[in-house]
Every structure is written in C-alpha cells, then in structure tokens.
Amino acid sequence: MPGFGGTATRLASRHCLAVLALAFCLAAQAGAALAQAPPDAAQVLRAQHTALSEQLQHNAFARPLVLASTETPQGLRGDIHALMAFPFAQVSSALRDPQQWCEVLILHLNTKYCHAQNGPQGTVLNVNIGTKNPQELAQAARVVLSYRVVASQPDYFEVQLSARDGPMGTSDYRIALEAVALPPNQTFLHLTYSYSANLAARLAMKVYLATVGSGKVGFTVTGEPVDGHPAWISGVRGVVERNTMRYYLAIDSYLASGQQPPAERFENSLQSWFTATEQYPSQLHEIERPAYLEMKRAEHVRQQTAQ
C-alpha cells in the first residue's frame, strides 16, 4: 500500500488543478459577459454631454444646444442634445406624463389637437397634424402615437411616442426623449424626431420643396457663406431640422412656464414658444404672433372638449 498515498496525492492535485482551471474559465467568461453588457443609459448620456461640451458652449443657437440630422434610405432623423437649466425632478415629472405631453405638442405650429387616452394596448396620444393655419379636425391627419416610458430611474428616464403610420404618407413616426440629471440642478436632454416616407409622401415633399417650401432652410451649415449669409441646408433635411427644433422649443417653453395654474401656464408657454422661434427667423418664421396666439388659443379650447 505504500504507493497509494502518492497516487491519491497526484489525483487530488490534478482535481484541484481542474477545479482551478474551471474557476478561471468561468471567471473569464463572466468578465467577458460584463465587458459585453450594454453600458448604463445614464452613463452613456452623461458621456455624450462631456463629448459635446465644446459645441454646447460655442454654437450659432445662443443656447447650449447641438442639432444634427441624417437622411438614409430608411428615412429622416433629427437629433437635439441640450443642457437645460431645470432640475431633473421637474423635467421628469412633466415629461413622463402623457397629459402634459399634449400641452407640449399643441404648441407646435402644425399640431391641431392632442388627447391622451388609456386603452387595452396601453396609453396613446391621439394627435391631429395639419397646416400652419386654423383648420377643422376632420381636415387634419390623425396620428395615434403609442406612449411608452422605456426607463424611469432616480437620475434618468426615457419616453417614446411612436406610430406605425404617420401623417401624409409617412411611417415609423417617432418622437423619443431621454434625460439625465446633472449638477447643479440641471438636466441634459436628448430629443429624437424621425420618420420614413413612402413614394407618395416623397413626391408630395418634392412638390412642396419646389414651390412654397423652396426658400426654406434648416440649421446645418453646408459650406462657405454666400453674399455674407450662411449656406444653410435645404431640402428634406432642412424640413426635419425645423420640426425637431420646434418640438425642442415646445419642451423648453413648457418647462420654463413652471408650476403656474394651467391657464396661465399655457398662455406663458405660447408666448415663450413664439418668442423662441423668432430667434431663428430664417428657419422658423411662418406667421405673425397675433395669428399664432389666436389659432392656438382656439385649438387649446377644442383640445379640452373634442375626442
């Protein structure tokens, strides 16, 4: 029996080595899994704030804002990153509420109606989108936006409004917003506005851009100044940039109105939105202030009663 102890020792050693190897392998796999895990959304948005810090401080908007647009075969997309001087709790409380989203959306020139409704498929916003002039609801396109809170954390949230079918031949219509808390009492926001367009919609847009929309531009500078004026982008990217900015200014104007009574808050939001759009007349001026205010006041009354 003298050799048994040595054999047992060797077997035990081999067993230990095998266990250690397995443990090392599992640890390596766990490390790889952690490395491949998606990063925290709040951290990603804070990293974007850091990466865009120079552009947020120095730009043509006279506010801490960065705007970008893209056109692909899949559709059009506008993105705004902005530093907002509002506490995260205020931003989160307002923009995680579908009813308050309607108070935001109605500020946009082309939004004629918005009503939040709970149903078996969840919360939806029934939105009518039409012209820049007073319009009957039956003449404005109805879009049913599914409302979803994607994430809600103490320092971060994300909301998506989406519709398979959008207005005027568009599809995959989406407004998405995410925000993260920043010190001291600030919020960094990322707004996305995107959609796809079918053949009929593209043809209609082509006609629009060749006629009444021929002189309209966006915010991206595409080249050297011409006769002392910036060479602004035009075409469909100009369209998506203008609308993305209008939605952002609606959010900013609503938040700036604070905790006032609803009637006063709406009136102040209207005045603030129009004043803000007039800071960019080359892109956003459409009608005069009295006409805008009269139209929106009437539409807001209709929004409280119509279904």
Instruction: For residue range 214-256, list pLDDT tens digits in order.
Output: 788 999 998 878 777 888 899 999 999 999 999 999 999 999 9
For residue range 265-296, what is the model confidence (pLDDT) as tens digits? 999 999 999 999 999 999 999 999 999 999 99
pLDDT score at 36: 34
- Residue 241 CB: number of other CB atoms within 10 A? 25
CATH 3.40.50.1440 fits 56-305, yes or no: no
List the domain boundaries for the chain: 56-305
pLDDT score at 307: 67
pLDDT score at 93: 95
pLDDT score at 54: 97
What's the pTM value of the predicted model, to 2 decimals?
0.85
Decide: 245 and 284 in contact? Cβ < 8 Å.
Answer: yes
pLDDT score at 23: 35
Decide: 129 and 143 in contact? Cβ < 8 Å.
Answer: yes
pLDDT score at 209: 81
pLDDT score at 28: 37
Distance of alpha carbon 113 from alpha carbon 306, whole angstroms: 9
Distance of alpha carbon 98 from alpha carbon 166, whole angstroms: 19
* Ranges of the chain whose pLDDT falls below 70: 1-39, 307
Question: Which residue type occupies 201?
Answer: A
Q: 56: which residues sit within 8 A by CB, 6+ positions away?
A: 49, 64, 65, 66, 81, 82, 83
